[in-house]
Amino acid sequence: MTRFIFFVLTVFFLFFTYPFNALANEPLVVFRPGSALYTIGEQNYQMDRETLLINDRLYVPLRFFAIGIGSDKRNFIWNEDASKVALINGNDLIIIDRQSGTVYINGRLVKMSLKPVEIDGRLYVPLRHFAEMLDYEVAWDELNKRVSVMAGKLPEKEIRKGKLRHEFAVGGSRFTPGESTLAQWQIALLQKNIYLTIQSVEQMSSKLSNPGETLLCYEKMLGDALIELPGDPEQAANNQNAITALHHLTGVELKQGEIFSFNNTSGPYGRERGYITGFSFSGDKVIREMGGGVCRTSTLVYNAVLDAGLPVIERHRHSLPVYYVPQNKDAAVGYGVLDFRFKNNRECPLFFRTEGNSERICLSIWEKHQECRSY
């Protein structure tokens, strides 16, 4: 099953005053000034951006620094407008305001002489300052012109852990800091397809040091589906229409009891909505038709609905067999004639997350749980 967790992060810097081999620790990750190459263990990897030298300080993308120290991408959370980024690192909750560069650890404002900066849509952080703030050690290898980040002192982290007293609950799962780490709790939530929202992360940040209990907002994935698109050039128009229909579904939200209509959401299938001429089925014939190929997307929604266990109100089969899903798993649509509809019978609003390219289209259905409150 495809999981859409759309995490973006970037961070960290250095200005080193001691030699590379002054520390006996094995490096967790190694960066090179002005290079997109970084090393974890003995394996080299490629970043999508190069590290930067700003006023003789090395800045690296937060995302790749975090990956280098062992953080999973599922430990990244960001709000809808991407103005804030949250990172769970061990038992620390780090929130970065992308506009101001302000950094909070467990709700505490951290004063940094060098702040994270955003360049070309990517968040960079001063490596040494950021790494040492998280209790890692850094070293500069003058001979090989590279920077190593190593596990450092733990006592300060343990002190921070000892201050975490608040209890949190989400989706039937409870978390008391000190008994387990935030990362371990998040993994347990992910096994239930539950994801924390940025509002929840901000709640945790403000409540960590206070006694009591907080019920967190969260999003839960109910079901998803994926369809592989053919690479045959004759299928290009239909693939393009499928992707166009998918774009019209992005961010769609259904209130409790509301009925979703594919035609009303993605159609009508004309040029004004971005569609082109493809091919469709008419009885036992294949014909040229504007919007041909949108049935691949209606079929995608149908399969995600089946996976989520939601009630189908209207669904039609194609008049000829289709190859991109198993038999009897297709959903044909025709504007004003055939529709695909289902009902939100859940107690919470539902929304779609989508992803599509020339090779595949994906869609997941999520519940939005918004009863956040503290005691």
Q: For residue 176, what pLDDT is reported?
A: 77
**pLDDT, tens digit only, all 375 positions of the chain:** 443 332 222 222 222 222 333 334 688 999 999 999 999 988 999 998 999 999 889 999 998 998 888 876 666 776 656 678 888 777 678 888 888 888 888 777 888 888 899 888 888 999 998 998 888 899 998 888 899 998 875 444 443 444 446 788 888 788 876 666 777 777 788 888 888 887 787 777 777 666 778 888 889 999 999 999 988 898 999 999 999 999 999 989 999 999 999 999 999 999 999 999 999 998 889 889 999 999 999 999 999 999 999 999 999 999 999 989 998 999 999 999 999 999 999 999 999 999 999 899 999 999 999 877 776
Q: For residue 211, what pLDDT is reported?
A: 72
pTM summary value: 0.67
**Short-list 116, 161, 165, 168, CA closest to 135:** 161
Please provide residue 246's backbone torsions phi and psi, each rounded to the nearest 5 degrees.
Answer: -65, -40
372 class by beta-carbon count within 10 Å (0-12 exposed, 13-18 middle, 19+ buried): middle
The tens digit of pLDDT for each residue in 52-94 reads 999 889 999 998 998 888 876 666 776 656 678 888 777 678 8
Q: For residue 74, what pLDDT is reported?
A: 64
Classify domain 13-157 at the CATH class level. Answer: alpha beta
Q: For residue 178, what pLDDT is reported?
A: 63
Q: For residue 337, what pLDDT is reported?
A: 92
The tens digit of pLDDT for each residue in 184-208 reads 777 788 888 888 887 787 777 777 6
Q: For residue 4, what pLDDT is reported?
A: 32
Q: For residue 17, what pLDDT is reported?
A: 25
Please provide residue 170's backbone torsions phi and psi, each rounded to the nearest 5 degrees.
Answer: -160, 130
Given a contact cutoff of 8 angstroms between Cβ atoms, the answer to whether 7 and 78 are in contact is yes
Residues of the chain with CATH 3.30.457.10: 13-157
**Short-list 146, 62, 139, 64, CA closest to 101:** 62
Token pair in block for residue 12? 């960290």
The CA distances from residue 283 to 137, 213, 251, 299, in Å, are 69, 61, 34, 18
**What 3 state SS string does the chain have?**
CCCCCCCCCCCCEECCCCEHHHCCCCCCEEECCCCCEEEECCEEEECCCCCEEECCEEEEEHHHHHHHCCCCHHHEEECCCCCEEEEEECCEEEEEECCCCCEEECCEEECCCCCCEEECCEEEEEHHHHHHHCCEEEEEECCCCEEEEEECCCHHHHHHHHCCCCEEEECCEEECECCECHHHHHHHHHCCCEEECHHHHHHHHHHCCCCCEEECCEEEEEEEEEEECCCCHHHHHHHHHHHHHHHHHCCCEECCCCEEEHHHHHCCCCHHHCCCEEEEEECCEEEEEECCCCHHHHHHHHHHHHHHCCCEEECCCCCCCCCCCCCCCCCCCECCCECCEEECCCCCCEEEEEEECCCEEEEEEEEEECCCEEC
